[in-house]
């Protein structure tokens, strides 16, 4: 199954019109609870990247937090193989890569559910390092925005 077909069928299994979730670059975005999940295809490796913001970049240097995130990366032991990055918009993002060849809609739904749980878990961990900073909870986009659709997982 190719990327667009997988994402479209997954969206449809959640009650979303799968033909309406892709932007002009092929990135698909949906809202799951209060989290924006984005999906990106890496055609050269036949992988799909699932990503979500977990927190805003710390206002200070974030030394202790970044150290904890790097330690969690070590062999993927605390991230279940996912990784953290800093987006150009200044958000700490959690992402994972999966081989498209190994996924059908049911398997992908399990990946997404596990990933959402991991995002929630890490939001709590990051909040413990930054008790003064609010957790990143995104406001749903305005009604009628064709790039976002809501699912309940």
Q: Give per-residue pLDDT as tens, 29-43.
A: 998 888 899 999 999
> According to the model, what pLDDT value does residue 128 have?
79
pTM (two decimals):
0.80
Average pLDDT over residues 69-85: 87
Q: CA angle 66-93-123, nearest 5°?
A: 75
Q: Which residue has the higher pLDDT, 137 or 120?
A: 120
Q: Which residue has the higher pLDDT, 32 or 132?
A: 32
């Amino acid at each position: 199954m190719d990327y667009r077909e997988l994402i479209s069928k997954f969206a449809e299994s959640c009650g979303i019109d799968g033909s309406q979730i892709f932007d002009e670059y092929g990135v698909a975005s949906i809202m799951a609870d209060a989290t924006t999940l984005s999906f990106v295809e890496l055609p050269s490796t036949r992988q799909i990247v699932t990503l979500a913001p977990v927190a805003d970049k710390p206002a200070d240097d974030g030394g202790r937090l970044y150290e904890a995130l790097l330690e969690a990366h070590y062999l993927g032991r605390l991230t279940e193989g996912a990784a953290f990055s800093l987006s150009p918009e200044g958000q700490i993002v959690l992402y994972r890569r999966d081989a498209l060849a190994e996924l059908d809609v049911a398997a992908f739904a399990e990946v997404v559910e596990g990933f959402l749980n991991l995002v929630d878990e890490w939001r709590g961990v990051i909040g413990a390092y930054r008790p003064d900073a609010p957790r990143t909870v995104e406001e749903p986009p305005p009604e009628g925005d064709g790039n976002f659709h809501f699912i309940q997982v």
